[in-house]
Amino acid sequence: MANYPVMGRISSYVALGDSFTEGLEDPADHGFRGWADRLAEHIEAGQPGLRYANLAVRGRLMDEVLAEQVPQAVAMRPDLVSLCAGGNDILRPGSGPAQVARSLEQGVRRLREAGAQVMLFTGFDLRQVPVMRMAHHKIEIYNLHIHDIARRHDAHLVDLWPMRVLRDLRAWNPDRLHLNSDGHRRVALAAAETLGLPVAEDWRQPYPDRRPPMWTDARYEDLRWAKNHLYPWISRRLHGRSSGDGVSPKRPGLTPLR
């Protein structure tokens, strides 16, 4: 984890991005919670009075985040903005990590020029997930660009790539694309740690040992995953649809967290 100076008081926080930041597969009474909501709770616990907005929408590509979400965040003039985008671009055939990174840097520059502290995230190490391992090298290259962008713009960086605990499938939803509640909990703890916020738990706590599944059982699970999750995802791509079509941000304005 990068060692950045502790932030001062955070009175306002805006989260930007796609399904990862929207909080998919971390269910709550109001829909989805997610690591960003959990991070806002960590901030509020030590600094009451936080105003929080979450503009992230599932399925959004980098250019959509820059066009739809970044201008809104700039207008809100928050103390802190988290920006995690590009994963949906990287997974698409023909996308180049360098091009996506250039777009990301444009967004970071606009946010920094508006006076906000910015927090970035590297991509996950998904080598254990069938199909996703084909994008492994592209994610590595994109991560190198993100490290450089964070250094150039003095941004906070949550480095998800080396977090070994997130390579355990017990941190993931059965779709293998989104974290489950415990995965979101751990990312929120890592983000709080990056900002220098005190937390009572450690995201590094390993999962209990368990016997690996038999080869045949593992292949059966792979086939079921492909049928229930991979094929619908591919179908949306082929038909030009997005999981975020018709979805609005869950917290479109800066409002008190409590």
240: left (phi over 0), alpha (psi -120 to 50) or beta: left
Per-residue pLDDT at 239: 59
Whether residue 9 contacts residue 79, with contact meaning beta carbons closer than 8 Å, is answered with: yes
Per-residue pLDDT at 3: 44
Distance of CA 234 to the CA centre of its chain: 21
Q: Would you list the domain boundaries of the chain? A: 12-256
| Residue 8 CB partners (closer than 8 Å, separation 6+) | none
Instruction: Report how far residue 53's alpha carbon sits from residue 255's, in angstroms, rounded to the nearest whole number.
Output: 7
Type of residue at 257: L
51: closest CA among 77, 84, 17, 21?
A: 77
Per-residue pLDDT at 85: 97
Name the H helices within 87-158: 87-90, 97-113, 136-152
Structure tokens belonging to residue 193: 């740690």
Q: pLDDT tens digits for 223-235? A: 777 777 667 766 7
Instruction: Report how far residue 123's alpha carbon sits from residue 201's, in angstroms, rounded to the nearest whole number.
Output: 23
As a whole number of Å, the CA-based R_g of the chain is: 18
Query: With 80 as the cut, is the pLDDT of residue 204 above it?
Result: yes
Q: pLDDT tens digits for 76-100? A: 999 999 999 999 998 887 789 999 9
Return the CATH number of 12-256, one of 3.40.50.1110, 3.40.1130.10, 3.30.750.24, 3.40.50.300: 3.40.50.1110
In the chain, DSSP assigns E strands to 12-17, 27-28, 31-32, 51-54, 80-84, 117-121, 156-158, 251-256
